[in-house]
Amino acid sequence: MKKVRLGKTDLEVTPVGFGVMTINKFQLDLPLTEGAELIKYALDKGINFFDTAQYYETYDYIREALKMYYAENPDAPAPVICSKCLDSGYEEMRFAVRQALDEMDIDHVDIFLLHEVRAGTDFEDRAGAWKYLREAKNEGLVRYIGISTHNVAAAEKMADIPECDVVFPLINYASLGIRNGEGPGTCEEMAAAIKKLTNKGKGVFAMKAFGGGNLTGDYVKALDYVFGLEGLECAMLGIGRKEEVDTMIAYAEGRLDKDYSPDVSGKKIYINQGDCEGCGSCMKRCPNGAIFWNESGLADVDHDICLTCGYCAPACPVRAIILY
């Protein structure tokens, strides 16, 4: 598979990347060996770009996959790995970087990001964490730094931050989960922010092309939209099965039928407990009363009465509602 360069970095990545959050205990909860074999399968097929994060708790899957892969391919080039941390402090970020290195058994992380930066002063409020990332880059523990974000305003801000190498924004054709400032944002606004970033030489790769799985039924339409955006080099897609790796590669290589539509009949609506803020917007939108407050005070789904209609997904301001 062809590779593309991320901005002004020297990272050459496959245009489709493997988002490993899908296999963690909050979603598919794959056994360690099964999840590691799935990552290795992607490596064997030529995917070289993987996204994880401290709170995904997936480092062990990547470590075991790399062990298996290099046992068979000792001279193969290393894949590009991106990780992220939600914390704001210097010491917390230092711990996060060391944890990533230790638990994946690697000597550096190619990309390390401030995770889910919001609008307003959130970037400034995380100055301690950003300071450590700059130091880690100077020390060679991290190669490139930046942010992930769902927010147009936060993405735009990074265009004027010289130390920022890469940005990982949320974008999809239905604007699911996109924010701008304190309110909802649109895909047009995020597309303009991406163009601004790439004009400043930032590497940009996208998340949530399928809106947390809610747009998977429009597989080709969703990917055509993202890959048609000016300046976007790569899309990171959540993967849970080998068949999804094959389909993703077929699309990237232009071999996928334009009428392709995956079977989503067996999928269910879930609310990511790590993202839910308990605002209740989804409950108001649900036509069947299938969403309730759980013991943690967060929204959850009663699958016995859920219609899987997807009406709740656009109502969520933080893209916590997913379909898998």
Same structural domain, 23 and 64: yes
Q: What is the pLDDT of residue 104?
A: 98
Q: Which of 225, 252, 279 is the last residue of a domain?
A: 252
pLDDT at 243: 96
- Per-residue confidence (pLDDT) for residue 324, from 0 to 100: 81
For residue 84, pLDDT beyond 80:
yes
Q: What is the CATH number of the domain that holds 137?
A: 3.20.20.100
What is the structure's pLDDT at 311? Answer: 80
pLDDT mean over 95-123? 97
Task: Count how many domains the chain has.
Answer: 2
Percentage of the residues of the chain whose pLDDT score is greater than 70: 100
The answer on 312 and 239 residing in a single domain is: no
Residue 34 lies in a domain: yes
pLDDT at 318 (0 to 100): 86
Last residue of a domain, one of 208, 224, 252: 252
Q: Do 211 and 318 sit in the same domain of this protein?
A: no
Interatomic CA distance for residues 113 and 93, integer angstroms: 10
**Where residue 6 falls among pLDDT bands split at 50, 70, 90?**
very high
Compute φ and ψ for 12, nearest 5 degrees: -105, 115
Residues 159 and 305 in one domain: no
pLDDT in tens, 126-150: 999 999 999 999 999 999 999 999 9
Clarify whether residues 147 and 208 are in a common domain. yes
- Residue 76 and residue 167 in one domain: yes
Strand 4-5 vs strand 291-293: parallel, antiparallel, or unpaired? unpaired
pLDDT at 58 over 90: yes
Whole-number pLDDT of residue 36: 98
Determine contact, residues 129/88, Cβ cutoff 8 Å: yes
Is residue 83 one of the residues assigned to a domain?
A: yes
The answer to the question of residue 264 being in a domain is no
Residue ending a domain, among 218, 252, 286, is: 252
pLDDT in tens, 178-188: 999 999 999 99
pLDDT score, position 113: 98
Alpha-carbon torsion angle 105, 111, 116, 122, nearest 10: 110
Between CA 120 and CA 117 the distance in angstroms is: 10
CA gyration radius, the chain? 19
Q: Which domain holds residue 248?
A: 4-252
165-219: per-residue pLDDT in tens? Answer: 999 999 999 999 899 999 999 999 999 999 999 999 999 999 999 998 889 999 9
Tell me how long the chain is: 324
Do 163 and 303 share a domain, yes or no? no
Does one domain contain both 128 and 48?
Answer: yes
How do strand 12-13 and strand 4-5 relate by DSSP bridges?
Answer: antiparallel
Let me know if residue 24 belongs to a domain: yes
Residue 310 is predicted with a pLDDT of 82
In which band, very low, low, confident or very high, does the pLDDT at 27 lie, cut at 50, 70 and 90?
confident
**Does residue 317 have a pLDDT over 80?**
yes
- Degrees, nearest 5: CA angle 170-176-180: 65
Of the listed ranges 8-22, 159-173, 220-234, 298-312, the least confidently predicted one is 298-312
Is position 262 within any domain?
no
Start-to-end Cα distance in the chain:
27
Per the domain annotation, does 13 fall within a domain?
Answer: yes
Is the pLDDT at 265 greater than 80? The verdict is no
Q: Let me know: does 52 contact 35? Beta carbons within 8 Å.
A: no
Residue 257 lies in a domain: no
Mean pLDDT of the chain: 95
Domain with residue 306: its CATH number is 3.30.70.20
State whether 82 and 144 are in the same domain.
yes
| Domain shared by 172 and 280, yes or no | no
Paired with 183 in beta bridges are 180
The predicted pLDDT at position 233 comes to 83
Q: How would you class 192 by CB atoms within 10 Å of its CB: exposed for 0-12, middle for 13-18, buried for 19 or more? A: middle
What secondary structure does DSSP assign to 224-236, as a single string? HHHHTSTT--EEE
Is 281 in the same domain as 233? no
Tell me what pLDDT residue 308 has.
84
In terms of domains, do 307 and 241 share one? no
**Assigned domain for 126 exists:** yes
